[in-house]
Amino acid sequence: MKTITDAFKAFKEGLSGLYDDREIASVSLIVLTEVINSSSATIKAFGDRPLTFVQQQKINDILTQLKTGKPLQYVLGYTEFYGLKFLVNPATLIPRPETEELVEWVLDSVAGDGTPDSGLRVLDIGTGSGCIAISLKKNLPGTDVSAIDFSVDALNTAKKNAKLHEVEVNFIEADILNYSSNASYSIIVSNPPYVTLEDKKRMHRNVTNFEPHSALFVPEDDPLIFYRAIADFALKSLEPNGLLFFEINESLGKETAGLLESKGFKDVELKQDLSGRDRMIKATR
């Protein structure tokens, strides 16, 4: 592996059993821009550019890790979310594009009703890397933002991300299945575990073998366990006319909406992601 072109070939050969050609090309480009510290346009244009010995070593090390199925984001130690760089590791889920859409929906809802952010109190339940809470705080700087997670390791990562982006978030170590509070919130948002064991069979091994199972999977016989617990918490902790936002399992949209309606929430709205799947829901206290 002496040149950029050689590196692309090595990635295609090494990852052909794990990813399709388009994904391999994308992963290769991300790695090379990171290691060479150059633009993607330059890397594409100068395939015969020689790699230094150190660069070759770094690329080989990354490729070796990727061959195990380890996600690129964990290998690099970061990912991009809502225009920000977030540290990630096996204690945290890797943020997905649909979660960015959830953040956008929260921000649009605040902007749409004309409410100034200085009076808002937001709670993110199951914060993981802190991507939702921190993105909301960056875009609503006057808002008081809190975030819950039961994982100490995840919270430590979230705190590092808050420091990285110079925002203040109140992090709380707690399990929402056994948590109560006297605090009152304007908005509660959550991307809780919702993947069933049946769903797991269709997932890529770089998710099932590496991402934290406690943040992903739910019992097959009670897939809405976290939605029920969070809805009950929201009934007590949301202000009158406060908003509850969820990312949801696309196959359980009607069931999730029915759950919220049965508990007395108003204006329950299912929203599709950019791929046309039911992936988010909003309800009013």
Per-residue pLDDT at 79: 96
Q: What is the token pair recorded at 230?
A: 């969070």
Domain boundaries, the chain: 4-67, 90-284
Q: Examine the pLDDT at 117 and tell me if it is beyond 80.
A: no
Q: Examine the pLDDT at 35 and tell me if it is beyond 90.
A: yes
53-83 tens-digit pLDDT: 999 999 999 999 999 999 999 999 999 999 9
> Tokens 């802190």 identify what position?
130
Per-residue pLDDT at 5: 96
Work out the number of other CB atoms within 10 angstroms of the CB of residue 28.
23
Q: Which amino acid is at 253?
A: G
Q: What is the 3-state secondary structure (H, E, C) of 48-107?
A: CCECCHHHHHHHHHHHHHHHCCCCHHHHHCEEEECCEEEECCCCCCCCCHHHHHHHHHHH
- As beta bridge partners, residue 269 has 282
Per-residue pLDDT at 217: 77
pLDDT-based confidence at residue 202 (cuts at 50, 70, 90): low
Please give the mean pLDDT across all residues of the chain.
92
Nearest to 187 by CA among 125, 138, 259, 273: 125
Per-residue pLDDT at 221: 82
CA–CA gap between residue 63 and residue 220 (Å, rounded): 36
What is 90-284's CATH number? 3.40.50.150
Nearest to 65 by CA among 77, 53, 55: 77
DSSP state, 136? H
